[in-house]
Amino acid sequence: MIGPDMFGWTGKILRVDLGTGAQDVLRLPEAVYHDYLGGKGLGGYLLRDCASLSTDDPALPLVLAVGPLTATIAPTSGRCHLTTRSPLTGAVADSSAGGRLGTELARAGWDAVMIVGRAERPIGIEIDDASVRLVDASALAGRDTAEIFTLLRERRKGGSIATTGPAADTGCLFASLIVDTHHAAGRCGLGRVAGQKNLKYLAVRGTGRRKVADLAGLKAAREDILRLTAASPVLLGQHGFSCFGTGSIFDLMDSRRMMPTDNFQRTRFPGAEKLNANAYKQRYQPHRHGCQGCHVLCKKIAADGRSMPEFETMSHFTALIGNTDLELVMRAGDLCNRLGLDTISAGATLACFREISGETLGGERVLELLTGMGTGMGPGAELAQGSAKYAASMGRPELSMSVKGLELPAYDPRGAYGLALAYATSARGGCHLRAYPISHEILRKPVATDRFSFSGKARIIKIAEDANAVVDSLIACKFLFFAASLEEYSRAYSAVTGVSATAQDLLLIGERIDYQERLMNAQNGFRAKDDDLPQRFFAEEGTSGPGLPIPPIPREDFLAARAAYYRIRGLTPDGLPTRETAKRLGLPWPQELESA
Amino acid sequence: MTSLLAKYAAKLAATGLIAPGDVLMAALDDELISALLLARPSGVYQAVMAELARQALADGSASITPGDCETRTFLHDLPVVDGLSAEGVVQALRQRKGCVILHKGEALVASFGTVSPEQAYVTMSSMCFACFVAYFAEHLRRARLGTLTPERRAAFSRVTALLPLDRGEIDGMPDLLPGPFESEDAAREAMIQAGRHTVEYGLVDSYFGNISYRLGDTILISQTGSSLDELGPCIDPCRLDGSSCAGITASSEYSAHKAVYEAEMAGAGARAILHGHPRFSVILSLDCERLDCPNLGECHRACDTPRAVVDDSCGLSVPIVPGEVGTGPFGLCNTLPPALNATTGGKRGAIVYGHGLFTLGAADFRDAFASLMDVEHFCRAEYFRRVAELGG
């Protein structure tokens, strides 16, 4: 067990049973922390024995975990990672949340909060250092998140608050958790799991400090990381995230002809140049805002207080649904935040509805449908199950642009083949962040790779998945890895914890964390057939331009790359884990797979 | 993949870092490491790396810590392995992107890449540059401190005898396209040509440096991580009014280029910027007489002493300014533009401490290239003059 003299971790995990009101402190062997780090790794560890529980089973845990770097001076370490099973996909669900949540939780002395059970009425969990209270939140049910933040802030100054909106209460399968007004644990329907537990909000204030083994070493690692970010045009350049937010990538997606348009029927949206980050900046005069512990400050807040849309929201609420009105994007994004909806799934589900129905979506109609998704009433309520279930119910399953049921973000895979493979192999479904090949296929970091080739991509994707599993477990922000690498962060980890580890050591941990998720997915029936893209990408061209053809993805090449990925990952040709690899990584073989 | 391996092996030989055939590159699709490089540096690079590796093993640090900007930013330090063994090399490569191996008195370099063989090539190339700069800068510093030994002087003589001749002295100026350029195609062609010659003349390692040209209200600039001798599709058009972020992949020095052009539009009107890493210009920028300066160790960002490379015989005066890569609080985007804009005459340039030389061209890259070449030529001669003057 971790004692009070340990660095980086406290060894304390808060377990709250909302059904009984019981609270207790879990203490895990020190080796668990060394093997899984924290964040995503620890969340998976705490979930895995319950991974096959139904998502409406009260015993299914919702885990919020920080990492050994959280609340230290390691850059961008103030995030929190949430893990459970997705009601949208049935696969492992996890999401990284910014704001102050991670920092406050770490300062309060907790490595994680594990929430089980179902309360009889809406409940808030309020944590002030070691003190934990369950608070009746009935008065907040049905209110939008902006109202909830206002009400809670009247009596809780400082600290961090994460809350669900009406979408979580009314059964939307892609309901999110909103953190500190402007941030979200958006994907996979984590908010819905909270809703099923009648957990309305979590408020945390911490006053402690994390112990660091080697402060000088940590400062040196921090200097190296900051120097690299300063040299990154994507992060701190004049066109980069710090100046324009993640929307700065919008123009690049337009020029590379990989902007998903009309439900991924096309890859270029006429007029996109008038909908770019600069257009928003001119119109809404945003100011910089960031997560605790970050110097990039990629979050932007409009002068009127609304959150500026992230890149995916900008793209999905314009090109994907045929809208050219910036203000509608602002209103739609704001409405999603208030209702507690994942903007990627919401936008992509609207686009799916639009293609199936043939309906032209005007501004008010978009808002009406989003309201239906988030309240479960009126038009749009049928879309709250996500695009896959909606399209299937309409007899057009092929028009859900999703992988494993999770809607795709705003990068068309016909323009980047590594991304195509990464979408398919992502354990949580259609996600660009698990391997983030945009980094080398588009942004040229660490070096450029040929975006129209699968050559070498299987290995690259596997290593990147492992690396990003580490990033989500330490914790740090993936954006920083456009500049820095595990080479620098391994030094920060060693300095904080006193545990000697190289980048390669961390990659092995990342491999374990990733494989742990694949074991859980296998228990829930996921196979190679689920590691695939919608047929559209193999059959239809994108929008080609002069000297820039965007053909369909070569199916045979994709399958060959996926087969290579399975070999490298240690999976069977059907994408299933093997006992041999599980044993090598020190992972127990799940009971549910005994017959396999 | 095979073609990539062959390409980067050929580039190492073409740049004189190795003798043809003295590199082993491998890439495996089903293994953890995507690309592995083992090479025997040749000529002067072999000599300086072997010497620095011997020192690192003798003083117990087992690490070379060069003071140049690129190493500080991207490589941090260079582990040294005593003897060629898989275990030793693996251990070093678990720490850093590349390492120096001292094997039977000879220096070898190992590096790897997880995404492309290009990473292994870039690391090798950067390590050669870093060690070259570190060795010659250290010799001059020792000369200033009066700590040179007879053995060191003898070794220095052997090393300098291996220096390649100054390409500019042999071939003179390359025939570069005359400007001003009025179309994007013409400007791109000129940039591609000037970039290629900058590498061929040894004024920058392939992967580093950057180049730009202002065409009306647009700056054409090389992309981040592009190779100056392979610029083809790697040039971004960036509007000065900032109305598009398409230049998010532009060079990390875009902010500095933009600030220079904005000042030039109200002044002398230069339209071309060329940035290389000529070795002796970088080495001289590290040389300082103030051995007891309170900012010692922080020169790259805290130097407040006006410094310059000056050749009175031809009116050359090139300021040396501190500044780190990019846009941070100590970024060269704050220090370089005012220094560069303040220069006058036919040879306009400024050196960023431990980093490289930026030069301006009025209408095309002929002035900029000539300045790059001439400043480096002068710095090389000035370096040996200073060493000789100090008894080195």
At residue A362, the pLDDT reads 96
B124 within domain boundaries: yes
Selected residues 519-558 of chain A with any CB under 8 Å from a CB in chain B: none
| Residue of B244, B253, B332 for testing the chain A interface, max A β-carbons within 10 Å | B244
Q: From residue B346, give the alpha-carbon distance in Å to each of A98, A521, B313, B326.
A: 52, 68, 14, 27
B23 and B56 together in one domain: yes
**Percent of chain B scored above 90 by pLDDT?**
71
Mean pLDDT confidence for B88-94: 94
Domain identity same for B140 and B62: yes
Strand order in the sheet with A177-179: A131-136, A123-128, A199-205, A160-164, A177-179, A183-185
Q: Is the pLDDT of residue B274 over 80?
A: yes
| Closest to B279 (Cα-Cα) out of B71, B76, B80, B134 | B134
Rounded to a whole number of angstroms, the distance from the CA of B96 to the nearest CA of chain A is: 7
Residues of A in contact with B27 (CB under 8 A): 456
Contacts of B185 (CB under 8 A, 6+ apart): none
Q: Are B74 and A234 an interchain contact pair (Cβ–Cβ within 8 Å)?
A: no
B108-111: long-range contacts, CB 8 A cutoff, minimum separation 24: B108/B38, B108/B39, B108/B40, B108/B41, B108/B84, B109/B37, B109/B38, B109/B39, B109/B40, B109/B41, B109/B49, B110/B36, B110/B37, B110/B38, B110/B81, B111/B36, B111/B37
Q: What is the C-alpha separation between B189 and B162, in angstroms, rounded?
A: 35
* A351 contacts A401 by C-beta, under 8 angstroms: yes
Six-digit token string for A359 = 């309906």
Question: What per-residue confidence (pLDDT) applies to A169?
Answer: 96
For A563, which residue in chain B has the nearest alpha carbon? B30
B15 vs A571: which has the higher pLDDT = A571
Identify all chain B residues contacting A562, using CB atoms and an 8 Å cutoff: none
Q: How far apart are the first and last CA of chain A?
A: 34
Q: Return phi, psi of residue A156, to 5°.
A: -125, 100
In whole angstroms, give the CA distance from residue B317 to residue B319: 6
Closest Cα to residue B207, out of B191, B183, B182, B224? B224
List CB contacts of B138: < 8 A, sequence separation 6 or more: none
H/E element, A235: helix A233-236
Would you call the peptide bond into B180 cis, given omega within 30 degrees of 0 as the criterion?
yes
Sheet holding B98-103: strands in order across? Answer: B18-27, B35-41, B106-113, B98-103, B78-82, B63-64
Given pLDDT bands bounded at 50, 70 and 90, which one contains residue B30?
Answer: low
Report ipTM (2 d.p.). Answer: 0.90
What digits encode the pLDDT tens for the residues A46-61?
999 999 999 999 999 9
Topology classification of domain A438-593: 1.10.599
Say which CATH superfamily domain A13-205 falls into. Aldehyde ferredoxin oxidoreductase, N-terminal domain (3.60.9.10)
Least confident stretch, A175-189, A205-219, B310-324 = B310-324
pLDDT score at B33: 54
Q: Are residues B147 and B185 in the same domain?
A: no
In this structure, are B151 and B266 located in the same domain? no
Domain spans of chain A, in order of start: 13-205, 245-405, 438-593
Is B1 close to A447, i.e. CB distance below 8 A? no
The radius of gyration of chain B's CA atoms, rounded to the nearest angstrom, is 21
Among B29, B74, B254, whose Cβ lies nearest the Cβ of A459?
B29
The reported pLDDT for the residue numbered A546 is 85
**Statement: residue B1 has pLDDT above 80:** no
CATH number at residue B328: 3.40.225.10
Between A and B, how many CB-CB pairs are < 8 A? 154
Judged by phi (left if over 0) then psi (alpha if -120 to 50, else beta), residue B213 lies in beta
Distances in Å between the Cα of A262 and the Cα atoms of A316, A325, A401, B68 are 9, 15, 11, 50
* Reduced 3-state DSSP string for chain B: CHHHHHHHHHHHHHCCCEEEEEEEEEECCCCCCCEEEEEEECHHHHHHHHHHHHHHHHCCCCEECCCCHHHHHHHCCEEEEECCCHHHHHHHHCCCCEEEEEECCEEEEEEEECCCHHHHHHHHHHHHHHHHHHHHHHHHHHHHHCCCCHHHHHHHHHHHHCCCCCHHHHHCCCCCCCCCCCCHHHHHHHHHHHHHHHHHCCCCCCCCCEEEEEECCEEEEEECCCCHHHCCCCEEEEECCCCCCHHHHECCCHHHHHHHHHHHHCCCCCCEEEEECCHHHHHHHHCCCCCCCCCCCCHHHHCCCCEEEEECCCCEEEEEECCECCCCCCEHHHHHHHHHHCCCCCCCEEEECCCEEEEEECCCHHHHHHHHHHHHHHHHHHHHHHHHHCCC
Residues B36 and B156 in one domain: yes
Residues B16 and B132 in one domain: yes
pLDDT of residue B4: 81
Between chains, do A248 and B248 touch, taking CB under 8 Å as contact?
A: yes
B-proximal residues of A, 46-65, CB under 8 Å:
none
The count of C-alpha atoms lying within 13 angstroms of the C-alpha of B39, restricted to the half-sphere facing its C-beta, is 35
Q: Residue A547 burial by CB count (10 A; 0-12/13-18/19+): exposed, middle or buried?
A: exposed
Contact A278 B244 (CB under 8 A): yes
Of the three residues B130, B164, B198, the one that is the final residue of a domain is: B164
Question: Over the stretch B179-211, which tens digit does the pLDDT of each residue have?
Answer: 899 999 999 999 999 999 999 999 998 678 999
Listed residue (B215, B274, B256) closest to B239, CA to CA? B215
**Residue in A245, A75, A230, A221 with CA at minimum distance from that of residue B329:** A230
Are A376 and A175 in contact, with CB atoms under 8 Å apart?
A: no
Backbone angles phi, psi at B215, to 5 degrees: -120, 95
Alpha helices by DSSP H, listed for A340-456, are 343-357, 363-375, 387-393, 417-425, 438-441
Residue A498 confidence (pLDDT) above 50: yes
What does the DSSP 8-state code read for residue A149? H
What is the edge-to-edge ordering of all strands in the sheet holding B349-352? B235-239, B218-222, B210-215, B272-276, B356-361, B349-352, B316-321, B307-311
Question: SS3 for A324?
Answer: coil
Phi-psi region of B330 (alpha: psi -120 to 50; beta: other; left: phi over 0): alpha
Q: Taking the CA of residue A182 as centre, how many other CA atoms within 13 Å lie in the half-sphere pointing to its CB? A: 20
Among residues B138, B164, B190, the one where a domain terminates is: B164
How many distinct structural domains can be found in chain B? 2
3-state SS of chain A: helix, strand, coil percent to 5?
A: 45, 15, 40
Note if the pTM is more than 0.90. Answer: yes
* Radius of gyration for chain A, computed over Cα atoms and rounded to the nearest angstrom: 22
Report cis status (omega within 30 of 0) of the bond before A446: yes
Are B221 and B334 part of one and the same domain?
Answer: yes
CB within 8 Å: B255 and A248: no
pLDDT digits (tens, 9 = 90+) for B156-185: 999 999 998 888 788 889 999 998 999 999
- Residues of B whose CB is below 8 A from A456: 1, 27, 29, 34, 115-116
Q: How far, in Å, CA of A12 to CA of A109, rounded?
A: 7
- Phi first, then psi, for residue A307 (nearest 5°) are -70, 135
* Contact call for A504 and B94, based on CB within 8 A: yes
Amino acid at B12: L
Measured between alpha carbons, how far is residue B150 from residues B144, B146, B267, B366 in Å? 15, 12, 52, 44
> What is the mean pLDDT of the segment spanning A400-424?
98
Per-residue pLDDT tens for A352-410?
999 999 999 999 999 999 999 999 999 999 999 999 999 999 999 999 999 999 999 99
Q: For the domain A245-405, what is the CATH code?
A: 1.10.569.10
Domain that holds residue B55: 2-164
Contacts of B87 (CB under 8 A, 6+ apart): none
Structure tokens at A240: 């980069």
CB A165 within 8 A of CB A144: yes
Choice among A85-89, A247-251, A592-596, B192-196 with the minimum mean pLDDT: A592-596
**Roughly what angle, to the nearest 10 degrees, separates helices B279-286 and B365-389?**
50
> A289 in the Ramachandran plot: left (φ > 0), alpha (ψ -120 to 50) or beta?
beta
**Across the interface, do B325 and A276 touch by the CB < 8 Å criterion?**
no
pLDDT of res. A52: 95
- Considering the domain boundaries, does residue B101 fall inside one? yes
Determine which helix (DSSP H) or strand (DSSP E) holds A115, and give its type and residue range: strand A112-116
Instruction: Output the pLDDT for position B295.
Output: 84
Domain end call among B142, B164, B186: B164
Q: Which residues from B are below 8 Å from A567, CB to CB?
A: 30
B248 plus B332 within the same structural domain = yes
On whether any CB of chain B is under 8 Å from the CB of A278, the answer is yes
Question: Which helix (DSSP H) or strand (DSSP E) does residue A403 occupy?
Answer: strand A402-403
Is B169 part of a structural domain of the chain? no
Mean pLDDT of all residues belonging to chain B: 92
Same domain, B27 and B78: yes
Q: Are residues B152 and B190 in the same domain?
A: no
Q: How far apart are the first and last CA of chain B?
A: 47
Contact list, B334 vs chain A (CB under 8 Å): none
Using 50, 70 and 90 to split pLDDT, how confident is the model at B32?
Answer: very low
Yes or no, beta carbons of B226 and A228 under 8 Å apart:
no
Same domain? For B27 and B94 the reply is: yes
Diameter of chain B measured on Cα atoms? 61
Tens digits of residue pLDDT in B142-153: 999 999 999 999
